[in-house]
Structure formats: structure tokens, C-alpha cells
Amino acid sequence: MRGSVNRQCWCTDPETKRAYRLGQCPKWADPGHGKWYARYDLPLEAGERCQDRLGPFDTRRQAQAAVSAAIARTRIGLVPQVPRQSVAEHVQGWVESNKARWTVSTYKDYETIWRRFIEPALGKVRLSELTREHLNRLYAAMGSTDTCALDTYARKLRRRLQEARGKTAGEAWQPSSPGRIHKVNATIKSALTQACKAGLLIHNPARYATLPRVPYRRALVWTPERAESWRRTGEKPSTVMSWTEEQAGRFLDLSQETDERDHCLFHLAITRGPRAQEMLNLKWRDLSLEGTGMVTIHGTKTPRSQRTISLGTKNVALLRHWRRTQRSECEKPGKQWTESDYVFADKNGTKMTRYQLWEKLGELAREAGLPPIRVHDLRHCAASFSLSAGTDMKVISRMLGHRNYHFTADTYVHVMPKQDEAAAEAVTRVIPRRAA
């Protein structure tokens, strides 16, 4: 197995405008002029000779050390077997190979990350040459609002990202959120982990990338004071907000008067806390409406999120009545009904979308005079109300489909105002005081 090093420069002849031949540059006598590159043989592919190229290096010694290390890795089987594959090509192959086992929304999310960030930024970077600096500059270009703070390479990356978004260089740059940057890095790290397992890499650079801090989104309850401030200024105290028991009751009362389908859906969301897509994917065969009822939820996150939980007598009664109503709707003469078996289908029998759910939630909240919350915040309501009812934390965690109850306590469960008031009064009572 052989390796070689050579020095190159790209100076041009001012008369012919062509690059000098090797060694003919007037500056060639300067040992520091140009860059050093190395080549070495790889294992034969289909009987044909294959070489890999390393560099550039500032000195001959650096190039020789690099090629010696590469030859040593080749001999013990740690060299990439597809040396000319780019990072973007590998990530694309990883995404497509996992398409069959992912949900449609998961695949679309990963494909969008590849198309908008990885392909334009790392499409020319070879998999075997990727370093943490490539990733650090990509994340700096994604998240920075100050172009002057970026180096030349990061500015080029920003232009490529802008073009991938279909925008011109003159349009305003919209930086990515820290959460989005973490998602991009997680995608790259997962794809490179597969490359390490396949023997294409000896380490995963994404593990050592410098990532921005994701601000903690503190979940808050819509107290009367916060609701009044929102009506006056239009600003939400936090991205994640939860209704009180009284506010949730007003919302359910209005939904019951408005549409039976909506009332059944939102009552299930507020009392049992399934994710939005989990509710929309529910089919009648997943339900058992005997006694307190059972529902098998096919998780949208991981296999661990699949679970079977009780519905409760109130949800059972609502679902039974809704099933009768839905059957009578589809049997109406001249009705164009799509037989889909979805529990919360629209008026034509087709599956409801997340946008329709979000739109209906906002419309009913406005009619009830309530401050706004997101569809996902209904899970926060369910967790908080369950805690107020004295439910054990492990039971709440299992209801929500979480891996452990510590995550449930840290993320979803908020202290309701009434609980806080009771705690304050209890502390006062246990302190002995001298009679006045």
C-alpha cells in the first residue's frame, strides 16, 4: 500500500492567464508557498485501482503524518469504503432507507431538513473529511443575525441556505431557532452514527459540535391577571400556556352547544391528553366502549408511545353517542361519504387535518372569551387536571405516553392556582404562633 505527498499552487501566468505547470511558478522556491496534498491507495473496488486524496496541509510533515495515519487505518479496516461520497448524499440515503419505518410526518420533517439545510451546505463536503468545524460554521450561519460576525465560509453557507429557501440575496434573512439547529444536528448525528456502524467513519463529528442553548419554555397558567395583560397588550406570557379548570369548563360547555364532534374530540383531549395526531389517527376499532372503556393509541413518536389507557365513563358516553350520530350522517340519502373508520372524521368521512383542529380550537376559544392556547397545550391541561385530582405521577406519565415520569413532571405538569393557594395556607398553619 503506497502513499505520496506533493505541493501545489494555483498561481497563473499574467500573460497567458493560465496556471503554471508544477514547479514553474516564480514563487515556487519559497518553501511556504502553496499547499501540500497527499494521496494513498484504497482497497480495490471491482478490480479497479482507487485512491483517496488528503489535504490541504501547510507543511510536508503534516501531509506525511496524515497519509501515514490513513494507511494505518486502511490496514485495520477503518477507512471509509465510499471515500468520495458527500455528507449530503449519505444523509439522503439514510433518510430514504428509513422511510418505510417512519410515519409520513416524520419522513417529511427529515426530508425538509436534508433539502433546506444539509444538501445546500454540505453537498460538496466529503463524508470522510467532515469535521466539527464544518458543522459549527453551518449552525453559526443558520442562527446568526449579524452577517459581519461570520467568517467568509459561513457567509457562503448563508447564501446557499437563502437560495435553498427560494429567496434572493437581497431579501431579509430569517435566522433559525436554537431548537431547529438542534434538530438539524440530531439528524446529522443519527445519519453519521449509521455511517460509523457501517465502517464509513471512525468517529461522529456531530457529537462534538457547538450548539446554541435552547431557552427553557416555562409553562404558565392563564390566571385572570395574565389574561387581562394579554387582552391589553396582545402578548402571551409564554409560548406554552394552560387553562384553569374553570376556563376548560367554559370551553367544553361551548363546544357541547356548537358541534357534537368537536365536543367529543376536545373532551377526550382535555381529560386524557393524547397528542393531536394520535387523536386524528384514532379509528373505531381502536376503542372499547364497554364499562369505563379502553383506547389503544398508536404512538406517533416512538414504539414506547404506543399505549392502552382507560377512557372514563363520560368519554365512553360521548363516544357512543357520537358513533350513532356519525352512522346516521353517512346513511342519509344522497350523502357522499368516504368510508375511512376514523373516529373524528369530517362531515364527508375523510380524516381531519391538524389545521382544521387548530382552526376549530381557536374559533371556540374566541367565542368563549378565553385566552388562546395551542392544540398541544391541551396535553398540559390534561396532565395538570389529573394532578389536581390526585392522580399518581406514574399514572399520568403512562397516560401521556412518556418514557419516564421525571420528564412528565419537568415538562407538562404545572401547579394549578388552587393547589398553590392550598399549599400557602398549609405552610402558614404548621408554624406555631403566640396568640395575639
pLDDT over 60 (residue 47): no
Three-class HEC string of 20-54: CCCCCCCCCCCCCCCEEEEEEEEEEECCEEEEEEE
Cα 110 from Cα 120, distance rounded (Å): 15
Same domain, 167 and 285: no
Same domain, 245 and 115: no
Same domain, 102 and 204: yes
What is the domain range of residue 280? 220-423
pLDDT over 70 (residue 53): yes
In a domain? residue 430:
no
Q: Domain count for the chain, please give it.
A: 3
Least confident among 46-60, 147-161, 377-391: 46-60
In a domain? residue 65:
yes
In a domain? residue 170:
yes
Q: Select from 160, 176, 208 the last residue of a domain.
A: 208
In a domain? residue 432:
no
pTM, full prediction:
0.67
Same domain, 171 and 22: no
Same domain, 142 and 279: no
**Residue bearing the bigger pLDDT, 274 or 435:** 274
Cα 246 from Cα 283, distance rounded (Å): 31
In a domain? residue 237:
yes
Same domain, 230 and 252: yes
What is the overall mean pLDDT for the chain?
84
Same domain, 71 and 146: no
Same domain, 142 and 167: yes
pLDDT over 80 (residue 420): no
pLDDT at 16: 85
- Alpha carbon 262 to its chain centroid, in Å, reads 28
In a domain? residue 154:
yes
Residues 131, 140 contacting (CB under 8 angstroms): no
In a domain? residue 434:
no
**Which CATH number covers residue 96?**
1.10.150
**Which CATH number covers residue 393?**
1.10.443.10
Q: Select from 35, 53, 75 the last residue of a domain.
A: 75
Q: Select from 173, 208, 243 the last residue of a domain.
A: 208
Least confident among 69-83, 93-107, 257-271: 69-83
Same domain, 269 and 402: yes
Same domain, 331 and 284: yes
Cα 17 from Cα 12, distance rounded (Å): 6
Same domain, 30 and 109: no
* Other residues' Cβ atoms within 10 Å of the Cβ of residue 262: 19
- No. of H helices and E strands in the chain? 17, 8
In a domain? residue 280:
yes
pLDDT over 70 (residue 135): yes
Report pLDDT digits (tens) over 95-126: 999 988 887 878 899 999 999 999 988 888 88
Report pLDDT digits (tens) over 181-236: 999 999 999 999 998 887 777 789 999 899 999 877 778 889 999 999 999 999 99
pLDDT over 60 (residue 364): yes
Same domain, 91 and 229: no
